[in-house]
Structure 1
Amino acid sequence: MKAPETEALEIVQAHPSRRLPNALLRRLVQAVLAGEKARLRYLSLVLTDHATVRELNRTYLGHDYDTDVLSFPLSEEPGVVEGEIYVDLDTAAERHAEFGATFTQEACRYVVHGLLHLLGYDDATPEARAHMHRLEDRYLQAAGLL
């Protein structure tokens, strides 16, 4: 099976001091695309801080609070990823221990969560949240993170 293309993946390391390895992020995105049998048209993955994510949350969603990840779809074509994901690395740094995860594992969970949203998954009910969490675990494991 041919590996999913990642040329359309733009990784923006916008946090002033925290980073994740680009190669790991590419591997993670590939694992989700392969597992979901999805095609990547374009993805901007922005790793940033509390202030940026909160401002985006307030401006575009009307929510004036911190959140771990925001996804903005640019297309709703089934099986195609086209959009933007903003990951709050500060939240991952603050909360990873409470989940028994490393900083990298927690931040990568946010990446997978954002990708799943772009693929049409939601977490509006306890059942849907549990399903997304199981998928997150599957893809983190596929990328060698669990």
Structure 2
Amino acid sequence: MIKINIESDPKFKKPNDSVIFSLISYVMEQQEISDADLLFIFGDDKLLNHLKKQFFNKDHFTDVIAFRLNDYNQGNIEGEVYISLTRAKNNAKKFNEPYSKEIARLVIHGSLHLLGYEDSSKKDKEEMTKKEDIYLAKVDWSKIYE
């Protein structure tokens, strides 16, 4: 069973839980994962910058941070994904994409990190982006704020 909890900083409009759940579930299904306990937290730059400093010893803004809470060799997935809605909005403007689509991309990106995908090299980043594009084309991200 896939269990997903979604939390959002109250100063932001919360994304639609059912759409976010559908996005995550689709990624997990495509990756043949049927057992997961996940927490997705939508916050701001301050939260993600704090986490980046605390856990990665880096002081810069980032759009998504994923923490796998159990070993990657286990069949089930336990994890947390933090998404900066501030960065999502800035990225959407920068890349001339709808805000909802950028949020969907970050949800997918964080999900892929929980599955073990990395983006530290150019090749890895290209592979992740390709998967994100495939999944974005298959799901209806347009209703994230309906």
TM-score scaled by structure 1?
0.89
Shift of 1:142: 1.9
- Structure 1: how far apart are the matches of 2:48 and 2:129? 22
**Could you say if the C-alpha distance between residues 59 and 69 of structure 1 is closer, same or farther in structure 2, counting changes exceeding 3 Å?**
same
- Structure 2: how far apart are the matches of 1:103 and 1:135? 19
- Structure 1: how far apart are the matches of 2:75 and 2:100? 27
Match of 1:82 among 73, 78, 81: 78
Shift of 1:114: 0.9
- Structure 2: how far apart are the matches of 1:79 and 1:123? 22
Shift of 1:15: 4.7
- Structure 1: how far apart are the matches of 2:114 and 2:57? 19
| 1:19 partnered with 2:24 | no
- Structure 2: how far apart are the matches of 1:120 and 1:78? 12
**Could you say if the C-alpha distance between residues 100 and 81 of structure 1 is closer, same or farther in structure 2, counting changes exceeding 3 Å?**
farther
**Which structure carries more relative contact order (alpha carbon 8 Å, separation 6+)?**
2
SS of residue matched to 1:121: coil
Match of 1:45 among 40, 51, 55: 40
> Where does the alignment leave 5 or more consecutive residues of structure 2 unmatched?
none
Shift of 1:128: 1.0
| 1:34 partnered with 2:45 | no
Shift of 1:129: 0.6
Shift of 1:31: 0.9
Shift of 1:78: 4.9
**Aligned-residue identity in percent:** 26
**Could you say if the C-alpha distance between residues 116 and 126 of structure 1 is closer, same or farther in structure 2, counting changes exceeding 3 Å?**
same
**What is the aligned-residue RMSD (CA, Å)?**
1.6
Match of 2:96 among 97, 100, 107: 100
Query: Are the counterparts in 1 of residues 19 and 141 from structure 2 also a CA contact under 8 Å?
Result: no
SS of residue matched to 1:97: helix
How many pairs does the alignment contain?
Answer: 141
